[in-house]
Structures are given as structure tokens and as C-alpha cells.
Structure 1
Amino acid sequence: MLMPTHIVAVGGIVENQEGNILLVKTRDGGWVYPGGQVEVGENLLDALSREIKEESGIDTVVSYLIGVHSNTRIHKWYDGVTDVPTKVMFDYVCKPVGGELSISEETTDSRWVAKDKVLDLITAPAIRMRYQAYLEFDGTINYTEYVTKPKFELKVKRTL
């Protein structure tokens, strides 16, 4: 019997004192809030701070959890052979505490964007939905299940 495998990832919606949101533009071309996969032996909060720093140059403190999301579509990796398993993502609100905006191997741009203009830049349906959950956050944790391919489909949406 195969042991279940999941990719664990974190996302950080970083809001500065002026109410602007940190966005990064990925090399794949899309604007997103920073985040990425948790490495072996790394906890969620350290992974998130590392990912934000790597992608944007900004140092942060993680404030609170706002959402848990599952992308349950299993598809082939770039090699065409390896299965990419279910991805479980934890979204947090973060506060900047230092650093300077920069780019990385993964990003081509980073900037502070007015909270009400963020959805003008984010085009990926799953990221848009997760950001909307931040805008609507009322203290309850959002949970969604979705697939992204062949097209975005929301399967479950609820609060916990």
C-alpha cells in the first residue's frame, strides 16, 4: 500500500501600515501574493517567512491563519511521468518588519499594491478566490477544495 502524499504550501498576504498588499510577479507571468512549498523538516511559519523573503526581499512576522485550501487535482509533473499529488495550502496574514523590495529566481517584479487594486493584477482563479477570502475574513477560517486543470472548478467552500 502506498503512503498518502501531499504537497504542503503556505501563502502570505502581507499588509503594510498604509493598507497596501505585497504582490510578486512570477516568472510564469502571473501576479500572486508570496508563498510556496514547505521544505522537509520546516514548520509552516518559518517556511512562510522564508518564501516571502526569497520572493520579495521583505522580512515579515506571521500574524494569523485565514484559510486552508486543497487543490485535489492530480496531474503529471513537467517530466510527464511523476504524479503531482494533492496540494494543501495554508494562507496567513503577515506584517512587514523590514527588508527591501527585490526580485528572485522565481519572480520578475515585486510591489506594494492598494488593497482594492490587487484583483486588477491577479488573474489566476484560485489565487483570486483565496485573496477574496482575505477581503471577506471575519475571524472564521475559510476552507476550499478546488481543481485548477483542465479549468478551475470550486468543489467545496465553507468556513470552520
Structure 2
Amino acid sequence: MCGRPPPETSVCPVHNAPCEDDNQLCLLKSNRIKPLVDLLVDEETYVQIVAVEALSTLIIDTSKSLKRAIGELDQQGVLDEVIALFTDIHPGILQERAIWMIERILRVEGHSHIYSLDQSLLRALVEAFKHGNANAKKHAQDALTNLKQLSGIRGKASSQARSRR
């Protein structure tokens, strides 16, 4: 034991700290992400909302942690499932919760580039921007800005308004 460094505890890629059993619940360490992803296709909207809210706790807003957390969620298959859910829902609480996650995902440069080509996501973001509640509209605007698509939407709206005159 003498002369050996203390054993290193593994650092959670989401929390950037060791996740210990006695002081916090880590969805990644406890293998709870996959069951939550499975709930995204549940028939009950309330169950889907709870699953999205639980998964969203893994997204931390600091830039270094956000990139690492999004990368881990991508490896777990969360990103594609949340985006698939978002593209199939109508305005409401579920849309607002899902778009919050998507806006955070699109803050990460590599992911914003990948998803900028997803036409169904772009259509769903535009619909949320046009028809969602105030929070959904704000998140859609931020997501579209991250995708560098917002100027195109405003340009189309402006040219349509001019052509009506």
C-alpha cells in the first residue's frame, strides 16, 4: 500500500465527478437511461413527459459538461429517440419539454451540423416556432438559430408578406 497512489474513482461523463451510491442517483451509473428511452414510445403522454423530464436532468448547461453529456446520451441512443418523439407530437407540454432538450442538444456544434440536414426535425421546429406556446416558440427559435436556419424562415415569411401586398 505504501508508495501506491490511491485508487482512482471513475468520473461520470455526465456529471464530471464520481457518482457515489450513497449521495446521489445517477441515471447513467444505475443503467436507467434505456428504460427511460423505452418510455418515450409509451401511449400515455404523461408517461412520455416524465421520461423526457428525467432524461433532461442529464443535460447540464455548462459548455464542457454539456458536450460530454450530449455525447454520452448520443451513445445511449437518446438523441435520436427524443428527436423522433418531437417530430411526431403536437403543441403542448410534451412538445415544450422535448424541444427544451433538443435546443440543448443543438448547442453542441457537431450535433447541430448533423441534425441541420434532418428535414422532419426542421419542419417540426418551424411548426413549434409558429404554433407552440411562448416557451416552445423561444426554444424553437434558439434551436433554429443553432442550426443556422432561422434567417431562412424569417426571409420566407417576409417575402410572403411582401407578395400579399
- Shorter-chain TM-score range: under 0.3
Q: TM-score, normalised by structure 2?
A: 0.25
Q: In proportion to residue count, which structure has more helix? A: 2
Higher strand proportion (structure 1 or 2) = 1
TM-score using structure 1 length:
0.26
Query: Which one has the largest radius of gyration?
Result: 2
Higher RCO by CA contacts (8 Å cutoff, separation 6 or greater): 1
